[in-house]
Structure 1
Amino acid sequence: MTARDPVTPIDAPLPTPRQAAALPIDAAAVEAAIVGRRSVRAFLPDRLVPRPLIERLLQLAARAPSGTNTQPWKVYVLQGAARDALVQKVCAAHDALRADPGLAAQYQEAYDYYPRQWVSPYVDRRRENGWGLYGLLGIGKGDKDKMHAQHQRNFRFFDAPVGLMVTIDTVMGRGSLVDTGMFLQTLMIAARAHGLDTCPQAAWNPYARIILPHIGAGDNEMLVCGMALGYADPHALVNRFETPREPLERFVTWVE
């Protein structure tokens, strides 16, 4: 433990839903965890996350809602040598794909995370996000080497000591992706409440053919996404990047 570690009751049992409902709510703390959640792209690699804390975060995330309580998510936690070996495998594939784009047919996502054809306003937000991040890092539009290196940071979990891979059974419908999204958000908010940071990563999805055997997933499992988990590097320039949110009037319609 260090002076920066938050005081967390990770050894205490979670309250039951009924017990929790009777406890006072600290709205400011809940809001701080929500607003403070961000996609961190530089972690402290040597500041490890204790297993009891990871377990507690997953227990909290498991309280996420799911249709008819199916709880379709499955989580693989990668640390140490297993994490490092996966990083090496996927980084090598990423480099090989750049050298030979014809290999792209071998690396297909199980589901379309992004649209096949971009339209406004979504493409505008995507471009703002991409060039805002790359601009902060001094990566120009034509600098393919730096862009490749920055993209590959995904496959190093941005140096986070903990990597997560989340899957669902292929028999499940698209609603299970919604359920798993709520699980992931709950996990990220819980992590923030305990002083940790995260980065959800769909970038791993094309490399499922490498990832799934590595983690021991069954033939019936589909990769939903990966996630980096750890403590943010407070001095990293990339962690100064903040994404805007649309005002309510652009996405809310009041029907009265």
Structure 2
Amino acid sequence: MNQLDIVIDAITSRRSVRGFLPKPVSVGLINKILATASYAPSGSNIQPWKVHVVTGGKRDELSRQLREAHVRNLPEEREYDYYPVNWRSPYIERRRETGWGLYETLGIKKGDRKASAQQHERNYAFFGAPVVLIFSIDNDLQQGSWLDYGMFLQNIMVAARACGLHTCPQAALANYPGITKNLLGISEDQTVICGISMGYEDSNCLANRYRPARITLDEFVTFHS
């Protein structure tokens, strides 16, 4: 495989994996992935990212507290709106297609709120991944820095693929920032953006069989000449 094919394969094989093996990921490999990701561009090279690597006992305790909050149905404390406040076409249809496509793969029927809640709870078990990355940003940085952050996050996921790992980016891991900040010592002048679960894929996990569709070039590309 030539260099171009390696890069393209790392990008196109990236997907949200929802079932990981308990196999540990070495600190050296984590550092390699994060060092590679740090080459993401940022306006005036301000590099706005802050990464909190959570493993071992701290990972287990974070999971316990987040799952407890979810099971107790505590109100979410998100520090920003990730999704649209008012959903509209074509985004609502794409969201429904993805959500129900996953649930159909898992055998969860429409209206089965108990099974849906249990699947959602797996977010807070990090889908079994041994490594959880929590991302925060200074409160006073603007939209441009958030755009820069997105490129950094993508670099992490692509670099992980190149290293034989899989990831699952999770907006849900920003639902209870008070819990996360308290446990990880993140200061109040930071906003918790999201998390990424990372590890080796469990190929026997049913959820990993689902592949959401991608829209065609005709749907999002306009050429001007």
Residues in 1 aligned to 2:143 and 2:8: alpha-carbon distance in whole angstroms: 29
**Is the 1:177–1:224 contact (alpha carbons within 8 Å) kept by the matching residues of 2?**
no
Structural mapping, 1:56-205, within 5 Å: 56-97=32-73, 103-104=74-75, 107-205=76-174
Which of 218, 224, 235 is matched with 2:187 structurally? 218
**Is the 1:164–1:226 contact (alpha carbons within 8 Å) kept by the matching residues of 2?**
yes
Identity %: 48
Q: Is 2:211 the counterpart of 1:242?
A: yes
Task: Show the counterpart of 1:44.
Answer: 21
Query: SS in structure 2 opposite 1:246?
Result: coil
1:28 corresponds to which letter in structure 2? D
Cα distance, 1:253 vs structure 2: 0.8
Q: State the aligned residue count.
A: 224
Q: Is 2:13 the counterpart of 1:32?
A: no
What whole-Å deviation, never above 9, does each CA across 1:17-44 have from its counterpart, x for those lacking one?
A: xxxxxxxx71111110000000000000
Structure with the greater relative contact order (CA < 8 A, sep ≥ 6): 1 or 2? 2
Deviates further, 28-37 or 204-213: 204-213
Displaced runs of 4 or more, over 6 A:
none
2:31 corresponds to which letter in structure 1? E
1:119 corresponds to which letter in structure 2? R
Residues in 2 aligned to 1:75 and 1:54: alpha-carbon distance in whole angstroms: 11
Normalized against structure 2, the TM-score is what? 0.98
In the alignment, structure 2 segments of 5+ residues that lack a partner are none
CA RMSD of aligned residues (A): 0.9
Larger-gyration structure (1/2): 1
